[in-house]
Amino acid sequence: MPEPQSYKNHTRWFPPFHFFAAPVLVLNLIFAIALTIHHWNWHRVLFLWYIVLSLALIVLAIGSRVMALKAQDRVICLEERLRFAALLPADLLARSKALSQDQLIGLRFASDDELPALVKRALDEHLTRDQIKKSINSWRPDYFRV
């Protein structure tokens, strides 16, 4: 069983991406630039193409990560709206439509017991995602994040 989640340890690292693929792609770009600088007279077009290709791979990696996170955020917002319908009183449920996507994502970690008070506070005080997460006393873990 993983360590209980909290604000301090909820960040998700995906080692194959964060500690292998991303560093290798950055090193590849650095290597392409260094080769171009040191051997400019040999094959200019080829070395420039190597830099462009290296940049394209970095953009592809970042883009795929961003798309996965966006899809996850949409699912989180849907889950939270369904949870709100079950847990919030009618007046607060009506007001909850004013919550931003960032606020909804922050609220996903709040336990069912503290959710209504935290939703009210987020609306009244315009709390950010990070402020909401720091305000949570009883953390509801999410081990399935991308």
Question: Is the domain of 24 the same as that of 56?
Answer: yes
Q: Provide the pLDDT for residue 89.
A: 95
Q: Provide the pLDDT for residue 1.
A: 55
> Residue 109 is part of which domain span?
88-140
pLDDT tens track of the chain, all 146 residues?
567 776 766 777 788 888 999 999 999 999 999 999 988 888 888 999 999 999 999 999 999 999 999 999 999 999 999 999 999 999 999 999 999 999 999 999 999 999 999 999 999 999 999 999 999 988 888 777 76
User: Which of 48, 75, 102 is where one domain is finished?
Assistant: 75
Q: Are 136 and 5 in contact (CB under 8 A)?
A: no
Q: Provide the pLDDT for residue 142.
A: 77
Q: Provide the pLDDT for residue 12.
A: 75
Q: Provide the pLDDT for residue 40.
A: 83
Q: Provide the pLDDT for residue 145.
A: 72
The Cα-based distances of 99 to 29, 89, 93, 119, 126 in angstroms read 41, 16, 10, 8, 9
Question: Is the domain of 40 the same as that of 94?
Answer: no
The C-alpha atoms of residue 101 and residue 107 are separated, in whole angstroms, by: 10
Question: Is the domain of 100 the same as that of 130?
Answer: yes
Question: Is the domain of 59 the same as that of 98?
Answer: no
Quick one: DSSP state of residue 138? S
Q: Provide the pLDDT for residue 140.
A: 87
Question: Is the domain of 69 the same as that of 19?
Answer: yes
The total domain count for the chain is 2
Counting every residue, how long is the chain? 146
